Amino acid sequence: MLKETIALETLRQKIEKAEYDAGSSSDYLDYGRPDESQAMAARETIAKKMKEAELLKAELHTLIEQSPKGAIEEWVNWHKAVLEKILLEPEINSHTKTRANTARKTLVEWENVLTREREYVSINWHFLKDYKEKAGKEFKNSWWKF
């Protein structure tokens, strides 16, 4: 795997983590019954994490612009291969049907990265949990090879 491919995915995962953290704090505000100081801390975390995600997305934009086409293709094709495998799974109940639909939508988003219509794709942590974990493990274990 190209070092630029690993850098692209590492940055994508950092964005995803920042957005997840902001979402968790938002859920805490909605459902956690925080007192005023806890609510203030949660709002500060949300603002901080959303700003972090925004800065990381700008960094991703620059990295995409500077990366060789082959790295972007390798990055997108890795994700597409995982999603295409998920789409081969039987759709036997509402959960598996929703999983397949989520995979189809995510696949389109990755195809849009190739055409430069989009730069960032988030992986659904509920319906595509195994895919999200695979990306984390695959790219975490790849960095040291360079």
Q: What is the pLDDT of residues 50-65, one digit of tens each?
A: 999 999 999 999 999 9
Instruction: Dump pLDDT digits (tens) for 46-104.
Output: 999 999 999 999 999 999 999 999 999 999 999 999 999 999 999 999 999 999 999 99
* 142 pLDDT above the threshold of 60: no
Nearest to residue 123, comparing CAs of 89, 77, 82?
82
pLDDT at 140 over 90: no
pLDDT tops 70 at residue 144: no
Neighbours of 110 (CB within 10 A): 18
Residues shown for the chain: 146
Question: Alpha helices, DSSP H only, in the chain?
Answer: 3-31, 36-66, 69-86, 94-114, 129-140
Question: Quick one: tokens of 87?
Answer: 């789409």
CA distance 15 to 132: 13
- With a cut of 90, say whether residue 139 has pLDDT above it: no
| DSSP letter assigned to residue 144 | G
CA distance 74 to 79: 9
> CB neighbours of 141 closer than 8 A, spacing ≥ 6?
none
